[in-house]
A and B are shown apart, each in its own frame.
Chain A
Amino acid sequence: MIELDAVYKHYGDKLAVENLTLHVPGGELFACLGPNGAGKTTTIKLLCGLLLPSRGRVRVGGFDLQTEGDQARRLISYVPDQPFLYDKLTGREFLQFTADLYGMEPAHAARRMTDVIELFHLDDFVVDLTERYSHGMRQRTVFAAALLHEPKLLIADEPTVGLDPKSIRELKMLLRRLAAEGMTIFLSTHTLDIAEELADRIGIIHHGQLIGCGTLDELRLKSEDDGSLEDVFLKITESENNGHPASEKLSPSLTLPAR
């Protein structure tokens, strides 16, 4: 579903993403980790087509984001860390706008709106203007809108920020169920517990490079640490900081970008 091939992204002189190669198959829940400023959000923006790669190729569902972006974006839903809602629309109107934007049939859109309103417990406030929503209410509404058109790829940046414990629990169960049903999910998060609990594979980005990628066990092997994901993550990123590229210690079975 996701194909990033030798992707570079420059911000002026700064290299934000360097030679990133990553393939995520359909139905996989992939978690992307990395310190602040590592290049996670840039990678997400490249996947959404918001930014274009300086070099390399980004494909989603077989469509090249650079040349077939409109088709690719029909398959994608993006939930940013700072959710955007129109202040002067109600939650229901925003859902309707999303359904119209994705060209959904009215009857199907109405059914799906009922489903997502129930799924994210929006009933109590869905007819209020979104300017009155708390961060958690906004996040739930944005998730509802993102899943309304049943995307093939869901990209979420820090999806649990602002949600209460019950909503986090429900969201985690939902994400697992969606992945099991075939939806590809690309998460970017600092909450290592969520990555550890949910992800099929985990990628660690540092200084714009993918320095680790695989299941938790594969990452443990790579870091030569049997601890939690937190221990593994810190060990991999610190060894990179100390000038010992983690790739030197990689198991040959893991696919990592060419340097």
Chain B
Amino acid sequence: MNTQARTFRKLRVMQSHNALRQLLATNPVRILTILGTSLFLASFVFGLSYFGFHELEDNRVPFKGLIVSGLFDVLFLTLGSMLLLSTGIILYASLFTSPETRYLLTTPATADRIFASKFQAAIAFSSWGFVVLGLPILFAYGIVAAVPWYFYPLLPIFLMGFVLLPGAVSSLACLVLMRCLPRNRKQSLMLLGAVVGLLFGYWLYRTGVSAKTALTSAGGRDALQGFVDRFALASSPLSPSHWMTNGLLAAARGELRESVRYLALLWSNGLLVYLLAAFVSARIYRKAYDRVSDGVRRKRAYGGTGLDRIMESLVFYLSKPTRVLVVKDFRTFRRDPSQWAILVIFAGLLAVGAGNFNSYYTADLDTIDKYIVGLVNLSGSAVLLCAGLSRFIFPLISLEGRKFWILGLMPIERRQILLGKFAFAATGSVLVGWLLVIGSELILGLSLDGLVIHAISITAIAIGLSGLNVGLGAYLPNFRETDPSKIVVGFSGTVNMVLGLLFLVLTLGVMAGPMHAAAVMKHFAKNLEPGFPVWAYAGLPVGVLMAVIATVLPLRAGRRALETTEF
């Protein structure tokens, strides 16, 4: 190991040691909370996975090996794609915008050494959740499938090998993009994003059409095969997710040699791309940094717009100072292209979705099919809200960071700060939720009962998730981090995301579940009368109560934490 590598390793060890020692000395409760929550999450994921694998085993489902293999393929492809994106974003922020790299670039630290240091940190940040959540799923599979002992020690080695490849690919892409993009890179990046979004949208559209054919036509095996073929990439022999699946399943079957072959394939490819990225960084990182600093800086006069006034009028029930804070958050949001650009992509996907719904409508769907599609639409919208709120709202308090003293000195109570952020989040998410759910279900032609239940459900979910994100964001803030993507993929962000998903699954199950069960029963009983039995609505008050709890408890905890925050 060369001297600089040793120096950076020593730096990381010292930083981790000091941070842990400080945490133990000043806030042991926080460590217990972190450990307790991690254990709870891992147990929950383990329990859910164990149940699923057990059902598959007990019910003697045909081709269950094929189903498990397909599930793992899709799971690893999805996680790999997310790692590709998150590592790239984190690496961009740490290589090109952080004060630390600005300092290191003025020292004799070599460009590839700075890159290696930041790469390791980005990989650790973006993948720890994947490793922590992936292990319980695979442990559950191992127990149900009664795998040999060496399956378990191989798991972390597989997971670490798997995260290396997408991380290395995205770091290489990040360096090359920043070095080679034209000067007007904002437009170029948006164009690239739009192309990727369109391709994804097209894939989603084709998948939707295949799903519709498989669900509604008598196409049988061919239609189902068409749907499965949409995920062919995940099971391609050249896909790392497939190497991961094959390696793990080979270990589970007791074929150690085959398993190690796939493990070697994962690690060797990951390390090769990493070495290539390090080699490239030694040659282009400083030039890329210079080019990023070179960006076009046109003068532009900013001011208030009608949108700000609309936002303020939507939260008319708040006091004037709190409304000012809401408008400040909204203004920050709309002036950050990286935030609303994602919304534009969401809007594009919504348009694709609407196209799909339209084709469903013209296909003259059976009533039960409309309910199934409506439930999928409601679930998708809820997941979209969960992801959006976790990305944009959860880091809001943390991002006040070293500027928190400005809020601290304002003649406004801290609970009002929290209330303002909650009102901002709830107003935006309820509007987006209604647009997604009511808009598309009107096109779909769902019954009035169904539409009302879905509208109440998405409202409860939007408000509950807003409370959860704002409350937890204040309860577990990270004032030292300036990069929102790092806050989101950090420990507290992951806890928030998983709790949010748990909340929405439970709320959906309680509020919309009974009505859909009733619709299925009516379908099989060939009952054509409108309306549902009373019990189909029984979950609504329970769901509303859950939303109230998800709002009040985190907000209360967040308020207490915020009121004791020193600045």
The answer, yes or no, to whether B110 is at the interface (CB within 8 Å) is: yes
- Chain A residues numbered 36-77 whose CB sits less than 8 Å from any CB in chain B: 45, 48-52, 69-70, 73-74, 76
Given A11-B297, A70-B110, A84-B102, A103 and B15 touching (CB < 8 A)? no
In the complex, B99 has a CB within 8 A of chain A: yes
Whether B11 sits at the interface, judged by CB under 8 Å, is: yes
- What residues of chain A lie closer than 8 Å to B14, measured between beta carbons? 88-89, 93, 97
B299 to chain A, nearest CB (A): 9
The listed residue (B3, B15, B110, B293) touching A11 by CB distance below 8 A is B293
A100 adjacent to B7 (CB under 8 Å): yes
Contacts A86-B15, A88-B15, A100-B3 given; does A12 touch B107 at CB 8 Å: no
The reply to whether the CB of B19 lies closer than 8 angstroms to some CB of chain A is yes
Tell me the complex Cα distance, A24–B286, Å. Answer: 25
A98 to B107, CA, bound (A): 9
A82 to B402, CA, bound (A): 14
CB distance from B27 to the nearest CB of A (A): 14
Residues from chain A with a CB closer than 8 A to the CB of B295 are: 11-12
With a cutoff of 8 Å between Cβ atoms, the chain B residues found around residue A89 in the complex are: 11, 14-15, 18
Contact B480 A87 (CB under 8 A): yes
Q: Name B294's closest neighbour in chain A (CB-CB).
A: A11
Contacts of B100 in A (CB 8 A): 84, 86
Specify the chain A residue showing the minimal Cβ separation from B290: A52
Tell me how far the C-beta of B185 lies from the nearest C-beta in chain A, rounded to whole angstroms. Answer: 10
How many whole Å from A81's CB to the nearest CB in chain B?
12
Q: Is B331 engaged at the interface, CB distance under 8 Å to the other chain?
A: no
Asked if B109 lies at the interface with its beta carbon under 8 angstroms from chain A, I say yes
Question: Are A102 and B296 touching (Cβ within 8 A)?
Answer: no
Cβ of B183: which chain A residues have Cβ within 8 Å of it? 12
Is B4 interfacial (CB 8 A cutoff)? yes
Does residue A101 face the partner (Cβ distance < 8 Å to B)? yes
Chain A residues 84 to 119 lying within 8 A of chain B, measured CB to CB, are: 84, 86-90, 93, 97-98, 100-103
Q: Known contacts A88-B18, A88-B22, A93-B14; is A101 also within 8 Å of B108 by CB?
A: yes
User: On chain A, which size bracket covers the interface?
Assistant: 20 to 34
User: Binding site of A, secondary structure by majority: helix, strand, loop or mixed?
Assistant: mixed
Q: Which residue of B lies closest to A78 (CB)?
A: B106
CA distance A107 to B297 in the complex (A): 48
Chain B residues contacting A74 (CB-CB under 8 Å) are 108
A249 at the interface (CB under 8 A from B): no
A10 within 8 A of B: yes
B317 cross-chain contacts in A, Cβ below 8 A: none
Q: Which of A12, A48, A76, A98 contacts B296 (CB 8 A)?
A: A12
Instruction: Please tell me which one of the listed residues A52, A76, A129 contacts residue B287 in the complex, with CB atoms under 8 A apart.
Output: A52
A51 close to B290 (CB less than 8 A)? yes
A36 to chain B, nearest CB (A): 15
Tell yes or no: A13 within 8 A of B by CB: yes
A45 to B286 Cα, complex, angstroms: 12
Question: Are the C-beta atoms of B297 and A14 separated by less than 8 Å?
Answer: yes
Task: Determine if B372 is an interface residue (Cβ-Cβ < 8 Å).
Answer: no
Shortest distance between the CB of A246 and any CB in chain B (Å): 27
Q: CA of A133 to CA of B109 in the docked complex: distance in angstroms?
A: 25
A48 to B289 Cα, complex, angstroms: 13
Residues of B within 8 A of A76 (CB): 106
Given contacts A12-B295, A52-B290, contact A73 B108 (CB under 8 A): yes
Q: What's the nearest-Cβ distance from chain B to residue A53, in Å?
A: 9
Contact mask for chain B residues 176-192; partner A; CB cutoff 8 A; 1 contact, 0 none: 00000001000000000
> Which residue in chain A gives the minimum CB-CB distance to B20?
A88
| B105 near A50: Cβ-Cβ < 8 Å | yes
CB distance from A182 to the nearest CB of B (A): 20
Does chain A have a CB within 8 A of B10? yes
- Within the assembled complex, what's the spacing in Å between the Cα atoms of A10 and B183? 11
For A71, the closest partner residue in chain B by CB is: B108
CB pair A129 B22 closer than 8 Å: yes
- Residue among A70, A82, A97 making CB contact with B11, cutoff 8 Å: A97
CB of B9 to closest CB in A, whole Å: 10
Given that A11-B294, A86-B15, A88-B15 are contacting pairs, would A49 and B105 also be in contact in the complex, using a CB cutoff of 8 Å?
yes
Chain A residues near B15 (CB-CB < 8 A): 86, 88-89
Give the residue name and chain of the A residue nearest to B22 (CB): A129
Question: Are the C-beta atoms of A51 and B293 separated by less than 8 Å?
Answer: yes
Known: A11-B295, A97-B11. A82 touches B99 (CB 8 A): yes
Contacts of A100 in B (CB 8 A): 3, 6-7, 10
Contacts of A14 in B (CB 8 A): 297
Docked pose: A82 CA to B98 CA in angstroms: 13
User: Given the complex of chains A and B, what is the CA–CA distance between A113 and B287 in angstroms?
Assistant: 34
What's the Cα separation between A189 and B480 when bound, in Å?
29
Once the chains are docked, how many angstroms separate the CA of A70 from the CA of B7? 17
Query: In the complex, what residues of A have CB within 8 A of residue B293's CB?
Result: 11, 45, 50-51
- Asked if A88 meets B19 with Cβ closer than 8 Å, knowing A12-B297, A49-B286, A52-B287, the reply is yes
CA of A45 to CA of B294, assembled, Å: 12
- Among A131-190, those with CB < 8 Å from B are 131
Complexed CA–CA distance, A80 and B297 (Å):
23
User: In the assembled complex, which residues on chain B have CB atoms less than 8 Å from the CB atom of A98?
Assistant: 107
* Contacts A11-B293, A90-B18, A93-B14 given; does A101 touch B107 at CB 8 Å: yes
**Chain B minimum-CB-distance residue to A12:** B296
Assess whether B302 is interfacial by the CB under 8 Å rule.
no
Instruction: Flag if A129 contacts B108 (CB, 8 Å).
Output: no
Shortest B254–chain A CB gap in Å is 46
> Which residues of the other chain, B, contact A82 by a CB distance below 8 angstroms?
99
> Do B102 and A50 touch (CB < 8 A)?
yes
For A84, give the chain B residue with the smallest CB separation: B103
Q: How far is the CB of A122 from chain B (nearest CB, A)?
A: 17
Q: A246 to B450, alpha carbons, bound, how many Å?
A: 79
Residues of A with C-beta under 8 A to B296: 11-13
Q: List 22 A-B contacts (CB under 8 A).
A: A11-B294, A11-B295, A12-B295, A12-B298, A13-B296, A13-B298, A14-B297, A45-B293, A49-B105, A70-B108, A70-B110, A73-B106, A73-B107, A80-B102, A84-B100, A84-B103, A89-B14, A93-B14, A101-B107, A101-B108, A101-B109, A129-B18
Enumerate the 8 nearest inter-chain pairs by beta-carbon distance, A residue then B residue, closest first. Answer: A12-B296, A84-B103, A100-B7, A48-B106, A88-B15, A52-B290, A78-B106, A88-B18
Question: Chain A: residues with CB nearer than 8 A to chain B?
Answer: 10-14, 45, 48-52, 69-70, 73-74, 76, 78, 80, 82, 84, 86-90, 93, 97-98, 100-103, 129, 131
List 10 additional A-B contacts (Cβ < 8 Å) besides A11-B294, A86-B100.
A11-B296, A12-B183, A13-B296, A52-B290, A73-B108, A86-B15, A88-B22, A89-B15, A102-B107, A129-B18
